[in-house]
């Protein structure tokens, strides 16, 4: 009897908590709040990613305006399900994380802000494996303060 | 009040190109206004792309994405008339979405 009651209570608790859990999982506060690239990596569950030539970052070598730096990332690594963008010297390095499913190709193009000249790091997640590539972008005018 | 969005979805070779523009200030919290007061953070956090009702891309983004964000995505295959929907949600709980058919 007691056991049944406990199960019912447990089920009720799960039903109550689920909507909140779904909301909380939607934005990775810890990873986006990280102040170092390493903490940002840890925040998205990536330990030490292996460098890969199949992960390509297309971006200008020199960005005159740090407020709008176009970056294009594509992965030729089989089974890539997510791509993250880390701007190493930004106050909060993690810029974005994209999860691909149902036929979306591991490709994204976006504009980011860069505080100063630094490496832009792409991370590809393919199952339990993690890959990375970097590209240095020189910034003439920073795009964070102003 | 969330600003307007623009989107274009076109058939490429073997994939569909989706290009979407959102109107959003994407405030970082680092900028100061004319009186020297910090402008509070205001930025899009979540972005969802759906094709014919199925989620294909789920993105989490930060204040490091430029003002009035523009994104391009690619989806394998596709056909004329497929419905593409993009929606976003920001840190103030504001949201917006737009829908278009693949041309």
Identify the DSSP state of A67.
T
pLDDT, residue A23, reads 45
pLDDT, residue A145, reads 60
pLDDT, residue A22, reads 46
Instruction: Answer whether A94 touches B (CB < 8 Å).
Output: yes
pLDDT, residue A6, reads 72
For chain B, what is the mean pLDDT? 95
pLDDT, residue A25, reads 43
pLDDT, residue A142, reads 72
Which among B46, B57, B63 has CB closest to A100? B57
pLDDT, residue A146, reads 47
| Unique residue bearing structure tokens 């976003």 | B88
Q: A2-5, long-range: CB within 8 Å, 24+ apart, which pairs?
A: none
> Which residue ranges form the domains of chain A, and what is each CATH number?
30-141 (2.60.40.2470)
pLDDT in tens, A46-68: 989 999 999 999 999 999 899 99
CA separation, residue B27 to residues A91, B9, B20, B24, B56 (Å): 14, 28, 19, 9, 27
Q: Which of A98, A101, A106, A115 to mutate to test the interface with B (most CBs of B within 10 A)?
A: A98
pLDDT, residue B78, reads 94
- Please name the residues in contact with A126: beta carbons below 8 A apart, sequence gap of 6 or more: A75, A77, A78, A79, A80, A81
Residues in a beta bridge with A122: A85, A133
> Which residue ranges form the domains of chain B, and what is each CATH number?
5-101 (2.60.40.10)
Inter-chain touch A110–B49, beta carbons under 8 Å: no
Inter-chain touch A113–B64, beta carbons under 8 Å: yes
To 5 degrees, how large is the angle CA B92–CA A114–CA A68? 75
pLDDT, residue A64, reads 87
Instruction: Answer whether B73 touches A (CB < 8 Å).
Output: yes
Using a CB-CB cut-off of 8 Å, the residues of chain B touching A26 are 45-46, 60, 89
pLDDT in tens, B32-69: 888 999 999 999 999 999 999 999 999 999 999 999 99
pLDDT, residue B25, reads 95
CA separation, residue B43 to residues A139, B37, B50 (Å): 23, 18, 21
Inter-chain touch A67–B54, beta carbons under 8 Å: no
The list of chain A residues with pLDDT below 50 reads 19-25, 146
Which among A67, A109, A145 has CB closest to B71? A109
Using a CB-CB cut-off of 8 Å, the residues of chain B touching A72 are 72
Instruction: Answer whether A19 touches B (CB < 8 Å).
Output: no
pLDDT in tens, B13-35: 999 999 999 999 999 998 888 89
Which ipTM did the prediction report? 0.95
- Please name the residues in contact with A125: beta carbons below 8 A apart, sequence gap of 6 or more: A44, A46, A80, A81, A82, A83, A84
Are B92 and B44 in contact by the 8 Å Cβ rule? The answer is no
Chain A: residue whose CA lies nearest to B73: A108
- The Cα of A105 is separated from the nearest Cα of chain B by a number of Å equal to 5
To 5 degrees, how large is the angle CA A58–CA A61–CA A64? 115
Q: How many angstroms separate the CA atoms of B67 and B41, rounded? A: 12
Using a CB-CB cut-off of 8 Å, the residues of chain A touching B66 are 67-69, 110-113, 143
């Amino acid at each position: 009897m007691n056991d049944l009651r406990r199960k019912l209570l447990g089920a009720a608790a799960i039903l109550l908590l689920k909507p909140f859990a779904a909301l909380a999982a939607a934005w990775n506060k810890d990873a986006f709040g990280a102040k170092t690239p390493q903490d940002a990596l840890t925040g998205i569950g990536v330990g030490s990613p292996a460098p890969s030539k199949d992960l390509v970052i297309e971006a200008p070598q020199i960005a005159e305006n740090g407020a709008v730096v176009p970056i294009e990332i594509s992965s030729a690594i089989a089974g890539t399900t997510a791509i993250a963008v880390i701007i190493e010297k930004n106050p909060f390095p993690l810029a974005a994380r994209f999860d691909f499913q149902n036929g979306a190709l591991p490709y994204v193009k976006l504009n980011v802000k860069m505080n100063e000249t630094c490496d832009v790091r792409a991370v590809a997640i393919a199952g339990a494996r993690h890959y990375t590539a970097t590209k240095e972008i020189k910034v003439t005018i920073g795009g964070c303060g102003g | 009040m969330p600003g307007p969005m623009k989107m274009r979805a076109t058939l490429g070779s073997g994939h569909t190109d989706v290009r979407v523009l959102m109107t959003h200030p994407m405030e970082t919290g680092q900028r100061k206004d004319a009186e020297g007061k910090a402008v509070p953070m205001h930025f899009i956090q979540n972005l969802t792309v759906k094709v014919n009702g199925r989620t294909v891309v789920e993105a989490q983004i930060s204040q490091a994405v430029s003002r009035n964000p523009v994104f391009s995505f690619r989806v394998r295959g596709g056909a004329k008339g497929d419905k593409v929907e993009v929606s976003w949600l920001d840190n103030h709980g504001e949201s917006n979405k737009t829908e278009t058919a693949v041309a």
